[in-house]
A and B are shown apart, each in its own frame.
Chain A
Amino acid sequence: MARPSGPPRESPLSVQAVPVTSGRAPEGLTAADRKRMLRVMLLSRALDERGMTLQRQGRIGFYVPVEGQEGAQVGCAVALDPKDWLCPGYRETAVALSRGIPLRQLLSQLYGDRADLCQGRQMPNHFAFREFRFVSASSPIGTQIPHAVGLALAARLKGEKVVSVAFFGDGATSSNDFHSGMNFAGVYRAPVIFFCQNNQWAISLPRSKQTRSETLAQKAEAYGFSGLQVDGNDVEAVYAAVKEARARAIAGGGPTLIEAVTYRMGPHTTSDDPRRYRSAEELALWKSRDPVERLKETLVREHALTEEEFDQFLEAARAEVAAAIQEVEPLPPPDPGTLFDDVFARRTPQLEEQRAAFLAELPGSGGRKE
Chain B
Amino acid sequence: MTELTLIQGVNQALREAMKADPDVVLLGEDIGVNGGVFRATEGLLKEFGEDRVMDTPLNESGIVGTAVGMALYGLKPVAEIQFLDFIYPAFDQIVSELAKLRYRSGGQFPCHVVLRAPYGGGIKGGLYHSQSTEQLFASIPGLKVVVPSTPADAKGLLLSSIFDEDPVLFLEPKRIYRSLPGEVPDGDHRVPLGTARVAREGSDVSVFAYGAMVPVAQQACQGLDAQGIHAELIDLRSLVPLDEAALLRSVEKTGRAVIVHEAPRFCGYGAEIAALLAEKALYSLKAPVVRVTGYDTPFPYALEHLYLPSVDRVSRAIERTVRAA
Residues of A within 8 A of B (CB): 85, 87, 116-119, 121-122, 126, 128-130, 135-136, 138-140, 143, 145-155, 157-158, 164, 176-177, 179-181, 183-184, 187-188, 341-346, 348-350
Give complex CA distance A313, B179 in Å. Answer: 74
Given contacts A146-B61, A153-B66, contact A85 B73 (CB under 8 A): yes
> Contacts A151-B70, A157-B25, A342-B103 hold; do A349 and B241 have CB atoms under 8 A apart?
yes
Taking the nearest CB of chain A, how far is it from the CB of B28, in angstroms? 13
- Residue numbers of B with Cβ under 8 A of A are 25, 51-52, 54, 56-57, 59, 61-62, 64-75, 77, 89, 92-93, 96-97, 100-110, 141-142, 144, 164-166, 194, 240-242, 244-245
What CA separation (Å) do A126 and B72 show in the bound complex?
17
Contacts of A146 in B (CB 8 A): 61-62, 64-66, 68-69, 93
Distance in Å: Cβ of B62 to nearest Cβ of chain A: 3
- Residues of A near B93 (CB, < 8 A) are 143, 146, 177
Check if B65 sits within 8 Å of A121, measured CB to CB: no
The answer for the CA separation of A87 and B73 in the assembled complex, in Å, is: 12
* B144 and A150 within 8 A (CB): no
The residue in B57, B62, B68, B93 that gathers the most chain A C-beta atoms within 10 A of its C-beta is B62
Q: Is the CB of B75 within 8 A of A154?
A: yes
B244 cross-chain contacts in A, Cβ below 8 A:
349-350
A-B interface contact total, Cβ < 8 Å: 158
With A180-B59, A183-B57, A187-B57 as given contacts, are A147 and B142 in contact (CB-CB < 8 Å)?
no
- Select from chain A the residue with minimum beta-carbon distance to B144: A344
Closest A residue to B95 by CB, please name it.
Answer: A140
In the bound complex, residues from chain B placing their C-beta under 8 Å from that of A138 are 96-97, 100, 104
Would you give the shortest CB distance from B83 to chain A, in whole angstroms? Answer: 19
Interface centre among B65, B74, B92, B107 (most CB of A within 10 A): B65
Interfacial chain A residues near B89, Cβ < 8 Å: 176
CB distance from A364 to the nearest CB of B (A): 25
For B194, what are the chain A residues with a Cβ–Cβ distance below 8 Å?
A: 348
Query: Nearest-CB distance from B127 to chain A (Å)?
Result: 23
Return the chain B residue nearest A122 by Cβ. B104
Provide the residues of chain A in CB contact with B64, threshold 8 Å.
146
User: What chain B residues lie within 8 Å of A187 (beta carbons)?
Assistant: 56-57
The residue from B57, B73, B106 contacting A121, defined by CB atoms under 8 A apart? B106
Residue of B nearest to A190 (CB): B66
**Docked complex Cα distance between A169 and B57 (Å):** 24
**Chain B residues with CB under 8 A of A344:** 102, 142, 144, 165-166, 241
A181 touches B65 (CB 8 A): yes
A282 to B321, CA, bound (A): 73
The residue in chain B whose Cβ has the minimal distance to the Cβ of A338 is B106
Q: Across the interface, do A184 and B57 meet the contact criterion of CB distance under 8 Å?
A: yes
By the criterion CB–CB under 8 Å, are A150 and B142 in contact? no
Cα–Cα, bound, A139→B64 (Å): 18
A-B pairs with beta carbons under 8 Å apart, 27 shown: A87-B69, A116-B106, A117-B105, A118-B105, A128-B104, A128-B106, A143-B65, A143-B93, A143-B97, A145-B65, A147-B65, A147-B66, A147-B72, A149-B69, A150-B69, A150-B77, A151-B73, A155-B73, A158-B75, A176-B89, A177-B92, A183-B57, A184-B62, A342-B105, A344-B102, A345-B102, A345-B166
CA distance A302 to B275 in the complex (A): 74
Is B105 within 8 A of A140, CB to CB? no
Q: How far is the CA of A176 from the CA of B60 in the complex (A)?
A: 11
Q: Which residues of B have CB within 8 Å of A140?
A: 92, 96-97
The answer on a CB contact under 8 Å between B108 and A118 is yes
How close is A344's CB to chain B, nearest CB, in angstroms? 5
Given contacts A345-B165, A349-B244, A350-B241, contact A150 B108 (CB under 8 A): no
The docked-state distance in angstroms from the alpha carbon of A341 to that of B68 is 21
Neighbouring A residues of B96 by C-beta, 8 Å: 138-140, 143
B residues near A343, Cβ cutoff 8 Å: 102-103, 141-142
State whether A184 touches B56 (Cβ < 8 A).
Answer: yes
Residues from chain A with a CB closer than 8 A to the CB of B92 are 140, 143, 176-177
A154 near B69 with CB under 8 A, answer: yes
7 additional A-B residue pairs with CB within 8 Å, beyond A121-B106, A183-B62: A118-B108, A128-B106, A145-B65, A150-B77, A344-B166, A349-B244, A350-B242
- Interfacial chain B residues near A157, Cβ < 8 Å: 25, 51-52, 75
